[in-house]
Each structure stands twice: as structure tokens, then as C-alpha cells.
Chain A
Amino acid sequence: RKEVEQDPGPFNVPEGATVAFNCTYSNSASQSFFWYRQDCRKEPKLLMSVYSSGNEDGRFTAQLNRASQYISLLIRDSKLSDSATYLCAVKDDKIIFGKGTRLHILP
């Protein structure tokens, strides 16, 4: 089992729709979890940390399920500018990234 797994997509979603991504991780001792956004040929940028109680930042909601070892990202009212690759990241001493999920928001 890979350390961090994501569905690579692409997800093609009409503007205004809600989209959700899941990510699973193998190390049950992992302590910190993040979602990064990466635009084409750019570096990853932190979108949000994921807390045990779940957290929300505007249209974005992140959830952590330790029992099942997955994290999720929900994007509501999607915008064209949300088109990007979303990287799941799990950290102990170093961050391990998934391969990313590509999202295309369609006008």
C-alpha cells in the first residue's frame, strides 16, 4: 500500500457545483495533515491544514477520519479559478504527498 493515495482524476465539474476529494494514508501514527493546491508548472501552495475536529475556510471544508485513515476536501460553489491539482499531504517529520487530484471547473 502506498503511503498516501489519491484518485488522480481528472474531475470535470461544472461551475457552481460541489466537489469532494478523498485521500488515504497508511501510517496510523501520522500526526499532521494538509491539503496543498498546485497550479500548472508552479510550486505547491498550502490550502489548509486538516484538524481532527474538521475545519472550514470559506468554501473549503477539510475532514480527518483517523479510524479509517483518510482525509477529505470539500469545495462548495466551485469557481473557474479552483481548477488546479490538489495534493494531499501527511506529515510526521517530513511531508509525504499523494500524486494529486486534477480538478477542472467547466464554465
Chain B
Amino acid sequence: DTGVSQDPRHKITKRGQNVTFRCDPISEHNRLYWYRQTLGQGPEFLTYFQNEAQLEKSRLLSDRFSAERPKGSFSTLEIQRTEQGDSAMYLCASSRGTSSNEQFFGPGTRLTVL
């Protein structure tokens, strides 16, 4: 399977714990995006990378959230001191570099904070 992959697919954690998610993009795609989606809403943009450079961060991304893409391939999204409001589906997408190219999504990581 050469699509976008995400791990884990599901994560249940207690409030206050830290969690980390991983995304592996399509191999020739140099752009990688993180989105968050809650029930009844469209995906909300969090941040994106071009290669290893983080180019934009949404104001939704509080200081408890951090994302990295150290070698320009896979990316991690970490949430520190999780809150119940962090419960959502976290989606990763990748695309080729030009702005006209469509994004392809991974299956997402569903986070539940108890």
C-alpha cells in the first residue's frame, strides 16, 4: 500500500497524559499536513510542512501541540497534557509541492481523552 499511513489508528488516554501520533506520507510528496476533525465538522487545518520546514501553524494549535518532520519524510504530532476537548480524529494528508495539487489523506488517528 503506497498511500498515506497513520499510527496508531485509535488512542485512548487519560486527561493530562501526553500522546504522540505518526504519519507516513506518500513517498514522493514533499508537503505534509495535519488536520483535526470533530463530529459534524469538516477537517480543521492545524499545520503543514514542506520537506522538513514547518511553514504554517493554525491558531488552533496551542502550545500543548507540537509537530515535527525531522528528515522531511514521516511526521509526528504530539499533544502534551491532553484535555477532553482534544478528543477528535487527527488526519494527516500529503501532496506534491505545487499549490494546485490535491491532498491525499491517511485513515486518521482517533483520539479519546477520558
Q: Which residues of A approach B to under 8 Å, CB–CB? A: 4, 8, 31-32, 34, 42-46, 49, 87, 91-100
Contact = CB atoms under 8 A, between A and B. Distances in A.
Given A42-B107, A43-B107, A97-B42, A31 B100 contact: yes
Contacts of B43: 44, 87, 97
Closest 7 CB pairs of A and B: A97-B42, A43-B105, A99-B42, A32-B100, A97-B43, A46-B102, A100-B42
A104 to B, nearest CB: 15
Contacts of A99: 40-42
B100 A44 contact: no
B65 interface: no
Contacts of B93: 95
A8 B44 CA distance: 16
B42 A87 contact: yes
A91 B33 CA distance: 12
Contacts of A96: 45
Given A91-B100, A95-B103, A97-B43, 16 more contacts: A31-B99, A32-B99, A32-B100, A42-B107, A43-B91, A43-B107, A43-B108, A49-B102, A93-B48, A93-B55, A93-B56, A94-B48, A96-B45, A97-B35, A97-B42, A97-B44
